[in-house]
């Protein structure tokens, strides 16, 4: 393995710059989302209905768990749960439709930001990873980084991780975090909505 080109002094400076850019981008994106999505009656109405129906679903499931197996009425209760799950998923899908156009616009902004970052940090080692990433992730963590030391980190990986953490915590702080998304609506069953992850831990 060839020696690394990482310089701690300049690396820390670049990391700080990337974190600042990610913070500014996160604040700007949430401001746009507030203007075009969060303050709209259609959005607040769907959010309120989704939270209310989710509470009903949780209550039905709690009552179902407390009911002894084989007791009369359990089958009817299961049908009610499935019907309620359908209503929750429909509202979840409606929420995603409301957000999708703004998300497309934000995606365009992100592409522009990546272009600017690429002109400043492409081929630069901005951080040193404490591990060698799996080969499937090296195209991101080591993108356009010279030499073959795969603990050298590219700006793309640093910016992507920073943006996800900042955006998620910013949404929680402002009270704009999306409600739990029912499995099968956007995230596959068993996969957690990344906006529900706690990056403070």
Report pLDDT digits (tens) over 57-68. Answer: 888 888 776 665
| Residue pLDDT, tens place only, 131-189 | 898 988 888 898 888 888 889 899 999 998 998 898 888 888 888 876 665 544 444 44
Residue 12 domain flag: yes
Range of the domain at 21: 8-196
Cα Rg of the chain, angstroms: 22
Residue 153 domain flag: yes
pLDDT confidence of residue 20: 93
- Give the percent of the chain with pLDDT over 70: 80
Residue 3 domain flag: no
pLDDT confidence of residue 18: 93
Q: How many CB atoms lie within 10 A of CB 112?
A: 10
Residue 157 domain flag: yes
**pTM, 2 dp:** 0.70
pLDDT confidence of residue 196: 46
Number of domains the chain contains: 1
Residue 167 domain flag: yes
> 27 or 201, which is more confident?
27
189: left (phi over 0), alpha (psi -120 to 50) or beta: beta
Residue 2 domain flag: no
Sequence-distant (6+) residues with CB within 8 A of 167 are 26, 29, 30, 195
Q: Nearest CA to 144 among 113, 111, 121?
A: 121
Residue 119 domain flag: yes
């Amino acid at each position: 393995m060839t020696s690394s080109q990482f310089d701690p002094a300049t690396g820390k400076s670049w990391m700080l710059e990337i974190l600042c850019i990610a913070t500014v981008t996160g604040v700007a994106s949430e401001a746009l989302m507030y203007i075009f999505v969060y303050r709209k009656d259609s959005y607040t109405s769907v959010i309120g209905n989704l939270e209310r129906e989710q509470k009903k679903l949780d209550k039905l499931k709690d009552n179902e768990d407390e009911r002894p197996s084989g007791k009369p009425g359990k089958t009817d209760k299961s049908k009610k749960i499935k019907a309620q799950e359908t209503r929750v998923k429909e509202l979840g899908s409606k929420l995603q439709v409301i957000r999708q156009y703004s998300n497309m616009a934000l995606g365009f902004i992100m592409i522009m930001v990546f272009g600017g970052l690429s002109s400043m940090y492409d081929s630069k080692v901005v951080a040193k990873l404490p591990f060698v990433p799996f080969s499937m992730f090296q195209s991101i963590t080591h993108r356009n980084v010279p030499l073959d030391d795969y603990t050298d980190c590219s700006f793309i990986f640093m910016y992507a991780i920073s943006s996800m953490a900042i955006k998620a915590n910013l949404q929680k702080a402002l009270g704009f975090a999306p409600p739990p998304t029912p499995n099968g609506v956007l995230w596959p069953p068993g996969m957690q909505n990344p906006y529900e992850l706690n990056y403070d831990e």
